Amino acid sequence: MFINFLRNNKIAAGVLTILRLYVGYEFITAGWGKLSSGGFDASGFLAFAVKSATGEHPAVQGWWADFLTNFAIPHVDLFNFLVPVGEFAIGLGLIIGCFTKTATFFALMMNFAFMFSGTTSINPQLVLLSIFIIVAGSNAGRFGLDYFITKFVPKLGEIKQNHRVEKKVA
């Protein structure tokens, strides 16, 4: 019943728009701050996350520290590019309501990656709000570009009935 409300109700769409704008603002400002500062370097953050995987009560799980050690740190230049550009793109998508579900999915992935790395900050709050947005589906982008995209772009997976191919048995 509540999920149906989130997915179909115009009032819910209005509330979701406010949530979407807030999450988008947080992402776009974080991304822009990194892009406009003249350079972003994730190496210190990654090293601290790996260090946080030790001790009696580690903040970072061992498997995640292994991923950071074996993939993220050796490819830190890739992450130095992906994090600010990704944050900015997610924020832009959410603010204009374009590909809202996709932007929200990547917002969730990025927030979980930060939390796996031992950071809390605003990330749990953004995850909670993003869950409402992604569960609402298309209704979260009703007051945004998604409304126009769904009006003028045929839905994926739609099969035209008049193009059936029948096999002839010889």
Give me 38's structure tokens. Answer: 């003249």
User: What pLDDT, on the 0 to 100 scale, is given for residue 123?
Assistant: 96
User: What pLDDT, on the 0 to 100 scale, is given for residue 154?
Assistant: 64
Q: HEC states along the chain?
A: CHHHHHHHCHHHHHHHHHHHHHHHHHHHHHHHHHHHCCCCCCHHHHHHHHHCCCCCCCCCCHHHHHHHHHHHCCCHHHHHHHHHHHHHHHHHHHHHCCCHHHHHHHHHHHHHHHHHCCCCCCHHHHHHHHHHHHHHHHHHHCCCHHHHHHHHCCCCCCCCHHHCCCCCCC
The overall average pLDDT reported for the chain is 91
* Rounded alpha-carbon distances, angstroms, from residue 84 to 39, 62, 161: 10, 26, 45
User: What pLDDT, on the 0 to 100 scale, is given for residue 156?
Assistant: 44
User: What pLDDT, on the 0 to 100 scale, is given for residue 170?
Assistant: 56
Weakly modelled stretches of the chain, pLDDT under 70? 154-170
User: What pLDDT, on the 0 to 100 scale, is given for residue 91?
Assistant: 98
User: What pLDDT, on the 0 to 100 scale, is given for residue 165?
Assistant: 52
